[in-house]
Chain A
Amino acid sequence: MKKFLSIVISITLILGSLNFFCIRSYADERDFEYLRNLDVIVDGKDPVNVKYVDLNYDNASYVSLRDLAVALKGTHAEYSVTVTDSAITMNRGGSYTEVGGENDEFTSLVRDKKSPEYTRKRNRFTLNGAASYYYTIIYKDDNETNYDCYMYLADLALILNVDMHYDNGALVIDTSSPFSFDPRRLEDEGYFLSTNSVLVGDATTGEIYYSYNPDTSVAMASTTKLMTFLLVMDEIAKGNLSLDDKVETSANVEKLSNSIDRTFRIPEGTKANIEDLIYGMLLPSSNECTLALAEAVSGSEKNFVKRMNEKAAELGLSEGTEFHTCNGLPVYTEEVMENKVQNFITANDMFKLVCHIFSVYPQITDYTSCTTKTLSSLGKSVNNTNPMLYNVPGVVGLKTGTTNKAGACLVSALQADTENGVHTVVVVELGAEDILIRNNVSQALLVYGSRVCKNGGAASIPDYNPADYYEPEVDETLAALSGRTPETADELARLVVWTARNYMPIPEPDLTEVPDADVNE
């Protein structure tokens, strides 16, 4: 019997070990890194090799910060960078000191024993002394002595703010010009296809500088909390509530704080300060703080949601905006075949809501510009989830939001100094596929919005003519056909199409809006 048991245990251990190695090797293979070498031409000089990695897809490019630092050395875009196994320190304007291996060709990847999984991470990134919020990849170089950081090229372009573009497969950098872009051209190139809708405008004047699918009704996740904030402040303005009040939290709040949607625990009966709850709602996006506020205002979430929808109607928001919960979480309807519903909004409506908040309660930025806060009545210290606060100077808020359905949402606000005083530039980004896209799109539009605002607003935006950027495609077949009769039906068709086009310009893309019935749930 003993012999039998030892055989069984041995076999189990062996099989278990095999399983463990299989799982580990699966985990190691989650991301595919395509090692590439890129010619970089800075200010017309000879090309320099810069290593980069396409992560999982072609053109999802992460470039070597050390290699690029050498290429930019001596220009006004130069920077210094040091990289450890988990942190990057970059100083724009600093002079880079080479450590060896820079600009060599990429031949292999050395996995660091401490960090065997080469996934993107939010490694600690200090930019000019300030903590920033970028997803990067840290590799050890071929000599296994030094670390290098690979950064998403689109993020790097916004940081360095120098003109860069691809030309015949090489990256051409002109340090005498800023990194400029037109969102209308980006839209034509498909840049916004990985997000549901965006809008950038001036909340001070109500001008919209650019929008993409602004009337499409999409899930809004925790950006809902901006409406909750508005109703709480309305209640305070009426004198029914004050920031110093303490409310006793309910069993519902405790239940939510024990669920998978919790940020932190709030036991029933906790005497929570209203202002602490507001900080808890806006900084770490606490759903339980939000519920506590809703119950403090209306007695129940159901009544509060009714007021949210009434307020939306009062503000003139469209039928594409509808609230079901106070905090943006999904909820199931009371049916046998239940439906999972969420709060929906359009980018235009969100901009209207934010403009209204800034007009009546500009002190919202006192909360949303904090990167960290201690909530004494709740016994917690909380951090702000908004990455733009860390990445873009002048950003003062406002709110992130993420659910499976909504994707990654972010409403940002930046204060721009203009000839006419300080204006608030707002970027609404709803439904990015992931937070990296959300961050890059939001940051790009904040930079764009800030420039437009400082240049004088919407009137300063130049006309956009796609033909300025796109040369008509040269149809080589037509060139070959000239002077001879087409041999095939396809050649004949191409010649006939070209003949027809001689009578009219190439038609504009179809900009027909998608009707509501076609919007996916």
Chain B
Amino acid sequence: MKANKILVPMVIFLLLVILTGAGLFIFQNKYVRNKSHLGTWQRDVDMTPYVVASMNEWFADPTTASRVSFGTGKVYIKTDLTFNDDGSFTEKINPESYEAAKPVAKEIALEGLRSFLEIRLESAGTSAESVGKTVDDLIEEALEMTAAEYLDQKGPTLLPSMDELGTIYDLSGTYEVKDGVMKRTISGKPICEKYFTKDDYLMFTGIGEDIFEKPIAQPMGGDDTPLEMLYDYPALYIKK
């Protein structure tokens, strides 16, 4: 009888602790962890292929262009992806990164131009080195301007404009998350992606299954065919 007075409260206490812990665990999984995506994240988009393609088109010499080296440099722009608490999100080109990419793109283009001219000199049986000059020296002597100034004047557009990039990379819409899947709806078209966050990283790893409840009423006249994909997965974002 005395043992029951101690044991029963203990069991009830333990049960309460377990239930509380379980409840907190479930609460955290369902609500707290699902908020880890909130905030603004940044992604690097490699613009180097655009620069190379622009220069190769400008060379208009596929045989020589196939041998041109643009060096090992890369040029990136950033996009800012923001998830809001109200279930909306936006993604935009970061304008500062776009401005910073311009001189980097020009350096890569200049590398390609030097390589192109070296190949053409070689084809003509000579070289800059053999006459004690650099390719840049020869350009300056021939044009009375630097290679960079010449590219500014007569060279191709190296990067798409902000507006052109915006049509590709600027996104907005609504989202919901569940069990490691994020469903984003952009202009009425849904896409489900597997994702996870860890520390300051958010990664979309691929297309996920649509595990979300469908709305009872479908919007009239809308095209709800899912989007195929938004990235070449995996797509890595870093907390801004």
Contacts and interface: CB of A to CB of B under 8 A. Distances in A.
Interface of A: 485-490, 492-501, 503-504, 506-507
Contact of A501 (B59, B116, B126): B126
B60 A488 contact: yes
Interface in B35-85: 58-61
A492 B117 contact: yes
18 contacts: A485-B150, A486-B154, A488-B58, A489-B59, A489-B116, A493-B116, A496-B117, A496-B135, A496-B138, A496-B142, A499-B138, A499-B141, A501-B126, A503-B132, A504-B131, A506-B125, A507-B125, A507-B126
A489 B133 contact: no
B41 to A, nearest CB: 40
B239 to A, nearest CB: 43
Contact of A497 (B61, B126, B143, B154): B126
Nearest to B119: A493
Contacts of B4: none
The 6 nearest A-B residue pairs measured at CB: A503-B131, A493-B120, A499-B142, A497-B124, A507-B125, A489-B59
B139 interface: yes
A488 to B, nearest CB: 7
A99 B60 CA distance: 60
Interface of B: 58-61, 113, 116-117, 120-121, 124-128, 130-133, 135, 138-139, 141-143, 145, 150, 153-154
Contact of A485 (B126, B130, B154): B154
B124 A501 contact: yes
B60 to A, nearest CB: 6
Nearest to B143: A485
Given A486-B143, A493-B116, 4 more contacts: A489-B61, A489-B113, A490-B61, A496-B121
A500 B61 contact: no
Nearest to A493: B120
B121 A497 contact: yes
Given A493-B117, A496-B135, A487 B154 contact: yes
Contacts of A493: 116-117, 120
Contact of B126 (A487, A492, A504): A504
A496 B125 contact: no
A500 B131 contact: yes
Contacts of B130: 500, 504
Contacts, number: 65
Nearest to B117: A496
Nearest to B125: A507
A101 B154 CA distance: 63
Given A496-B135, A500-B133, A490 B60 contact: yes
Nearest to B139: A496
Contacts of A487: 154
Nearest to A508: B125
B35 to A, nearest CB: 54
Contact of B153 (A485, A488, A494): A485
A495 B145 CA distance: 13
A16 B90 CA distance: 84
B143 A500 contact: no
Nearest to A488: B60
A496 B127 CA distance: 10
Which of A485, A492, A498, A501 gathers the greatest number of chain B CB atoms within 10 Å?
A492
Contacts of A496: 117, 120-121, 135, 138-139, 142
A217 to B, nearest CB: 30
B58 to A, nearest CB: 6
A342 to B, nearest CB: 38
A486 B133 CA distance: 21
A500 B116 contact: no
Contacts of B131: 500, 503-504
Which of A489, A493, A495, A503 gathers the greatest number of chain B CB atoms within 10 Å?
A489
Contacts of A485: 143, 145, 150, 153-154
B187 to A, nearest CB: 41
A492 B135 contact: no
